[in-house]
A and B are shown apart, each in its own frame.
Chain A
């Protein structure tokens, strides 16, 4: 069974600094997708970034980038130049190449300190 583990329940970062959120997953598949979602207090989950497992290049979206280590089954999220609006719960998610189900981690609560 696929599982997603986020070992950091809470993290904090100074405004304008960089923070890295960790995620590991367990799978026997070779092709799959990985995602990071952000859930602010408004509760709506927002897609931050996605990675296709067959692509070696790490995905980047503006201040957000990932470090995808396929052999280690690790998928960390780096937030650069942190802003107050980045404060939220962040969820890592896995999805097989075919199939309906996303597997989510338990989330990391990020606090941004002014």
Chain B
């Protein structure tokens, strides 16, 4: 059982739909991240939350809206997506952003297909 749990595992949505991705960790980590993984491209950082505060938004379109109600939960709200948004969305957590040789603990991702 991974320390970071993402749901749903797969999601197919139309361009006019609204859906949400959920990420949960019980590792006591204070930083959480959303990454986008597309084929043959490096992972793209989307958002960073450190102690529930958003500390980074990597020029992500507004059709992606993150929410971090507490240090254990992270959501990514999706609306009016485009087909090019189809990708694997990975959530990760770490003890703290900005310090230490901390690696991430990743979830298994949500495979999103926009039709």
**A residues adjacent to B (C-beta < 8 A):** 4, 9, 33, 35, 37, 42-47, 50, 52, 91, 98-106
Known: A45-B106, A100-B56, A100-B97. 6 other contacts (CB 8 A): A35-B103, A43-B108, A44-B106, A45-B90, A45-B92, A100-B50
Tell me the complex Cα distance, A52–B100, Å. Answer: 10
Is the pair B101, A33 in contact by a Cβ cutoff of 8 Å? Answer: yes
**Interface residue ranges of B75-115 to A (CB < 8 Å):** 88, 90, 92, 97-99, 101, 103-109, 111
In the complex, residue of chain A having the shortest beta-carbon distance to the beta carbon of B98 = A98
In the complex, residue of chain B having the shortest beta-carbon distance to the beta carbon of A103 = B42
B2: A residues at CB distance < 8 A? 44
A33: B residues at CB distance < 8 A? 101
Q: 8 interchain pairs (CB within 8 A)? A: A37-B103, A42-B108, A43-B88, A47-B105, A91-B43, A100-B33, A102-B43, A106-B40
Is the pair B104, A47 in contact by a Cβ cutoff of 8 Å? Answer: yes
Q: Which one, B42, B99, B111, contacts A4 given CB within 8 A?
A: B42
Q: Which one, A9, A45, A101, contacts B45 given CB within 8 A?
A: A101
Tell me the complex Cα distance, A91–B92, Å. Answer: 15
User: Contacts A52-B101, A98-B98; is A44 near B45 (CB within 8 Å)?
Assistant: no
A104: B residues at CB distance < 8 A? 42-43
- Asked if B74 CB lies within 8 Å of chain A CBs, one says no
Is the pair B104, A102 in contact by a Cβ cutoff of 8 Å? Answer: yes
Tell me the complex Cα distance, A103–B31, Å. Answer: 17
